[in-house]
Amino acid sequence: MSVLGRLGALRTQCLFHLMTSRIGEKLPVMNLNLFPYEDQQEEKAKPTGRYPIPYVKDLPFDIVELMDEIEKQAGFLPNIFKVLSHQPSEFRAFFAYYNAIYNKETGQLSKADKELIIVVTSLAGKCLYNVVVHSALYRVYSKDPVLSDQVCINWRKSDLPAREKAMLEFALAVTQVEEITDDHFTKLQVHGFSREDAWDIATIAAFYAMANRLAHFISIVPNREFYTVGRTSSANNKKNELDAPQA
């Protein structure tokens, strides 16, 4: 079974594979037997959070193999992988549930919709890491970096269509623990969302309410590479290739 299969049948279309949209520029591959995922000087200069990153030799092989695969495909390893490896069983559970709700094949939510939900709920949660990471991925999926920047400043005054704004209102109601009433579902139905779509919006919002608090508590620093992802036409042109299923 593949690496992703051993981690709960995770699909290789997960968001982190989009990071290859860095226009092919890749970081040097480090010797995994010496240091975690950076050389010693860089590791000391750029802490990724409040908790130490385990050395690769101390991690379970399936987690090392997955992170090695992600790093090779993306050109760098997102800091969330490094930090969560501090707790291997929680690492597996986190990414297994993420893939269950993000990569499900049912429902009407697009990848751009899901990234939009994550960005706006992460803004509400004041989570720098997830805002930076997922606004980058929203730029890629939407192919509209201007709209992504508008959303990050004030999504209510952005050029988002009414459908997306209704979706975000519902996601924020879940995130902010409002009393959910039939009126919330009625407003979604006006824009073509079913009850099952409401479930999908809510699970993404609820999962990232947790993820935002976790990232905030750990103080995870976004990788610098995320700031430029999806801001060039050549990056967007790679999307179809990156979306293709892989073994």
The kind and range of the H/E element at 237 are helix 233-237
pLDDT tens over the chain, length 247 residues = 444 444 443 433 444 443 333 323 333 333 333 334 444 344 444 568 889 899 999 999 999 999 999 999 889 999 999 999 999 999 999 999 999 999 998 999 999 999 999 999 999 999 999 999 999 999 999 999 999 999 999 999 999 999 999 999 999 999 999 999 999 999 999 999 999 999 999 999 999 999 999 999 999 999 999 999 999 754 444 443 344 222 2
pTM of the complete model: 0.78
Give all domains of the chain, ordered by start, each with its CATH number.
3-103 (1.20.5.810), 111-218 (1.20.1290.10)
Res 47: pLDDT: 65
Give the residue from 25, 23, 27 showing the smallest Cα distance to 231: 23
User: What percent of the chain is modeled with pLDDT above 90?
Assistant: 70
Residue with structure tokens 């992703």? 4
3-state per-residue secondary structure call for 43-88: HHHCCCCCCCCCCHHHCCHHHHHHHHHHHHHHCCCCHHHHHHCCCH
> Distance (Å, rounded) from C-alpha 156 to C-alpha 25?
35
Res 232: pLDDT: 77
The pLDDT tens digits for 23-42 are: 233 333 333 333 344 443 44
Res 233: pLDDT: 56
Cβ atoms 98, 110 nearer than 8 A: no
- Residue 193, CB-side half-sphere exposure with 13 Å CA sphere: 27
